[in-house]
Structure formats: C-alpha cells, structure tokens
Chain A
Amino acid sequence: MTKPFIAARAVNVFYGANQALFDIDLDIEANKVTALIGPSGCGKSTLLRSINRMNDLIAACRFDGSLQIGGQDVYAPAVDVVALRAQVGMVFQKPNPFPKSIYENVAYGLKIHRLATSKREMQDRVEWSLKSAGLWDEVADRLDEPGNSLSGGQQQRLCIARTIAVQPKVILMDEPCSALDPIATAVVEELIDSLRKDYTIVIVTHSMQQAARISQRTAFFHMGKLIEVGHTKDVFTNPQNEQTQNYITGRIG
C-alpha cells in the first residue's frame, strides 16, 4: 500500500448535540479515486466536507480528531482555510455555476488567487481547464454566454473545469452525478477517470454501480461509522463485513 495522501485519525464530528461521525480512521491514497458510500445520513458527506473545512460554515458543527493532507494538519490553528480550499477543490451535488459567463466561471478562481499574470495567460488557462474537463469543443465559440445556459451535464463539467483551473491537489465530489441523466453521467464519469492521474479524488456517491465503475478504493459508512474500506473490487465482490454485504446487495439502504 502506498503512503496515504489524506489521513483521518479518530475523527469525530458533532452537529450540536448530535454526533455525525464516530472515530473515523481512513487513509486516502494519492492519484486514486476513493468512493465514500453508504445509506443517507451515514456521515459520508460530513467527512467529505470536513476535508476542505466547509463544515466550518455551520456554526454548530464541531470537529474532533486529526485530519492530515500531505502531512499537514488541516485543523491546525495556523491553517488558513482560504489556502486550504485553494488546494482542495470541491464539486457539489447540484451543478452551481455562477450567474456569469462560461469564461468568467472558469476564470474566477484564477482571478481571486491571481494565478494568471496576463490576459493571454488567463485565456490559456481557461482553455486548458475547459479542455481538461472535456467541455472545450462544446463551448469554445460561446464563452461569453451565461454558464447556466448549458445543459445539466455541461454545467457540472463547467463546475469541474472551474475547480481544476486553480490546480488543486485534491478534488472532493459530493454526489456529482445525482442530478444528471445517464448519458451525462457517463461523460462525467469518464472525465473523473481521466482526472485521476493528476488529482486525488474523493467522491461521495449513492450509486454503487458508479462507485464500482470509477473508484479504485471504496469506503462504506453506516450510522456515522466507517464499516469497511478497501480496494473497490474487494469491497464489492468479497465484503468482509455483513453490513457491507447487506448494503451492496440492497438489503439495507
């Protein structure tokens, strides 16, 4: 097993008096797609949002334990969440392009982080991002049209392009295909697979088929506890835990 890029140790997360995650120990390897699966309310999204500290936005949310990315403690007092989120990108469940043009959507992250020194460079990086997201051919001649004029699948790929434009180390995806039709889902899944070589990807999904198709490692959560984690193939074909077995065969969920 390679050295883990993201390491969660004894992670407990509370929403007020409710505990959402119990003593999670999870290693996530670099340049692989790790799928977090489990029934609704099992805490998989909570863990995902703990990685880039989006949970900080919820006042009642409390994190306990240790979470390291590349050896750096994410919850250390010296950590600036802006720097963290610039390097840990996130794609949401519902495509949420900004109400701006396609170009502006991709350029926004570059602008706020001042990652492009000239207009030329900005254009190049926007083009590169859209190409990496497999969207360039579809939008090249209408970059100034509003982002939400695109179809749902295109919008989600635009959101992915927006995320990779700032070249993060990690991309977190929170059920990125749940609002898409099967054809758009297939395109996005292909894209996720192609992004794996450059980024570490953590994806929360409700679809076990999707987890089986795109991930190399799978972690199964139930009632806030990590039940089982391993190579995707092993988890799906030879689950060690009965609960996992029940879930992937559709008996609980």
Chain B
Amino acid sequence: MINFSKHAGFNLSRRHRAEQRFQWAGRFAILISLAFLVIMLGSIFRDASGVMRQSQIAVAVDLGPEAIDAADIANISFGKILKSAMRARFPDVMKRKDKKRLYNLVSPEASFEIKRQLTNDPALFGRVQTLWLTASDDLDLYLRGKIDTSLPENQRQISDAQIAWIKDLKQAGQIRRVVNWNFLTNGDSREPEIAGILSALVGSLFSLAVCFSLSFPIGIGAAIFLEEFAPTNRITSLIEVNINNLAAVPSIVFGLLGLSIFLGYFGLPRSSPLVGGMVLALMTLPTIIIAARAALKSVPPSFKQAALALGATPVQAVFHHVLPAALPGMLTGAIVGMAQALGETAPLLMIGMVAFIVDVPQSILEPATALPVQIFLWADSPERAFTEKTAAAIIVLLVLLIAMNLSVILLRRKLEQRF
C-alpha cells in the first residue's frame, strides 16, 4: 500500500510547518513595511493638505485721486493705503498695539498685491475698490482650526481681538479661501502664506540637467571602454576597485571637493546649479558606471562575436549590437543615480545652495537652491505654517521622483520592444 498523503512520513509535517512559518514571516514583513509606508504618506498628505488652499481678505482700498497719484505708481506707498483701509474697516481700533495686530491680519505681501493688481488693470484707479488680498498665515491657521483657542491668550499666535475681527469679517463675507497656486508659482519667502516651491524646483531641475548631461555620457563612455576595450591588467583593476570605492564615499565629501575645486580653484559661481550639478555628477558617476558595466556584461557575447566574425571593427560591434542591447539597463542605472542626486542635500550645503533664494533662477549660473535643501530650510523655520509647506514640498519631490521613474519604465519598454 503506497501512501501519498502528508502523513506518509519523510518528516513531512515538520517540513510543512517550517514552510508555513517562513511564508507567514514574509507576509508579516511585507505588512509591516506597507504599514509604515501608509503611515508616512498619510502623515505627509495630512500635513500638506493645508497648502491646497489659502485665505484671502476683501479690503476696500481707497484708490481715489485724492489718496494716490495714478501717474506715479512707483512712488505710491501701498502699505500706507492698505493700513488706512484696514483702519477704515475697523474704526474702533485706537491703540497702537491693536492697530499693529489689525494690520497683521493681512500678509505683508498684500501691499505688493495691490500694486500688481493696479498695474494689470489701471481701470481700478479713481475710487474705492474692494480687492481680495492674501491673509496672514495665522489667520489661515485659525480658520482651519489649527490654533488652539482654549489656550491663554499670551500663549497663542492669535489674540482675542484678532479673533473678533476675523469673525466680523467672516460674517460680512469678506474672507474667502481659494486654491493656492502661489505655492507652485512663487519662490521662497519669509512669510509662509506666500512662500512657494518654484525657485527650488527650477534649481533642482537645472542641477539635474547639468548632472545628467555630464555624468551620463562620461559614465557610459567610461563603462564601455572599461568593459569592452580596456586591457585586463593591474591599472584597469586598480581603476575598477577605485570606482567601486567611490560609490561608497559619503556625499558630503563630494561637496567638500566641489567647494575646494570648483569654487575655490576654478572660481565658478557660488550657489549655482552649475556647480551643484557638477558635484552631483561626481557623486552619481560611480553608480552609473557600475550599472552600465553590469548592463554591458549581461549582453550575450554572441552578438559581439557574430559582428566581429562578419568583419565589423570592435567599435562597430559594440556600438551597433552591444550598446543597443545594454541601453535599457544603462538607463535604469542612470535614473537610479539621478534619483539619488535629486534627493541629495549634503553636498549642496557645502557649495552654498542652501541660500535663501526668493527669485526663480533664470540660468544655471544664478544662485539657486534645491528641493531637498528647501525642505530642510522650511522644516527648520519656526512658523507653524511652514510645517505644511515642508510636507507639500516633500510631495513635490516625491512626484518628481515618480515621474522620473515612470518615464524610464516607459522608455525601457519602448526600447525593449524593438526585439
């Protein structure tokens, strides 16, 4: 009688139990990591949700001929006009300290907004106009219930008087919340309500462009030469060992190198995406070379042999047959390097890309900052509203990373489809 069941012996029950144990341990590990991912993303998105909208206050600004001179827009003190408009809205406010609190309901940027709106639409001149102006970050936080009003007045950002004014404004329909495009179109600012990501984003993209255009051709070229042409001798293996070691060098060391060589010796512009990109290129080169060599190595040698046997020169054999087959793998390596570079902060700190940059850089030679540095700067800011900005900037960084990875996956698929 043959027994094929699990009770047939062969130590089967123990072996099956071990199998089960391992599978459950695996499931558990995946579950834990997924849970952490969800918690992390959840908290980031929760924090960042406040950035989606911003508060505006409707202020009746006197733009009449006796208040301002329409012909001389550059010399008008819009701050003064704004202040008097606020006082006119709440005529009961007398004390100097209270007035200051009243003015603080609108963003310091609001006076520039009046100017901008007037420049865009000169028809506004001539009489009292109701304009929507950006409110302060504290007002915005209060409206969203982020300020704990049960605390004693001297321990919170917003005073009882301000709360009363806000309620009054709200009842009069003079407060609204609109989609916050400023976050994507503005540069950095000391005021969280108008601080935006654009200068850091452009800085990052410029740096990445410099980094890619340096490290990709150099890295691929070095990999092709080392893998396909270099003679196998001591020097080659020495170079090989050093490239592998370079991949493990902490990135801040590359920052120091950039500081002393690119800035100190060559005198390239400080804080510029050019230098940032060069430093990042140094950092990503080993990654790209190692990945590209692995990709070249995985191409069957039969392609190269067939080409050589047909009378192709070694360069033709490599460029016509080996390289196209290795390209998808090379691109993957390059994008891993680029993703590393995009998230890198330390080397950029060393070459001065940590500066406070309000203007969006127009070229790779202008001072700029980068996304991860911007996140670092905002996370360091005392204003509560910057917490949200930090989370939102992280999302922008993640979206950029996902977009990069996605584009490479698509590109790979396209390249691999050609046989």
Contacts and interface: CB of A to CB of B under 8 A. Distances in A.
Chain B interface size, as a band, is 20 to 34
Interface string B377-401: 0000000000000000000000000
Interface in B317-362: 320-321, 324-325
Nearest to B419: A146
A89 B310 contact: yes
B306 A92 contact: yes
A127 to B, nearest CB: 18
A108 interface: yes
A23 to B, nearest CB: 27
A62 to B, nearest CB: 15
A112 B305 CA distance: 15
B302 interface: yes
Contacts of B173: none
A89 B310 CA distance: 6
Interface string A164-189: 00100000000000000000000000
Nearest to A59: B232
B224 to A, nearest CB: 16
B118 interface: no
A96 B300 contact: yes
B242 interface: no
Interface stretch (A66-74, A80-88, A211-219): A80-88
Given A99-B303, A108-B320, A54 B311 contact: no
Contact of A98 (B307, B308, B313): B307
Interface in B294-309: 300, 302-303, 305-309
Contacts, number: 69
A98 B309 contact: no
Q: Is the interface of B mostly helix, strand, loop or mixed?
A: helix
A92 B302 CA distance: 9
Nearest to B310: A109
A90 interface: yes
Contacts of A28: none
Given A59-B232, A148-B419, A52 B303 contact: no
A89 to B, nearest CB: 7
B306 A54 contact: no
Contact of B419 (A57, A89, A92, A101): A101
A99 B321 CA distance: 8
Contacts of A100: 419
A99 B419 contact: yes
B34 interface: no
B305 A92 contact: yes
B419 A90 contact: no
A96 B305 contact: yes
Contacts of A82: 311-313
A231 interface: no
A148 to B, nearest CB: 7
Interface string A49-64: 0001010010100000
B231 interface: yes
A42 interface: no
B233 to A, nearest CB: 9
Nearest to B316: A112
A112 B306 CA distance: 13
B239 to A, nearest CB: 17
B308 A85 contact: yes
A99 B302 contact: no
A113 B231 CA distance: 27
Contacts of B305: 54, 57, 92, 96
16 contacts: A54-B305, A59-B232, A83-B311, A85-B308, A86-B310, A92-B302, A96-B300, A96-B303, A98-B307, A99-B303, A108-B312, A112-B313, A147-B419, A159-B306, A162-B306, A163-B309
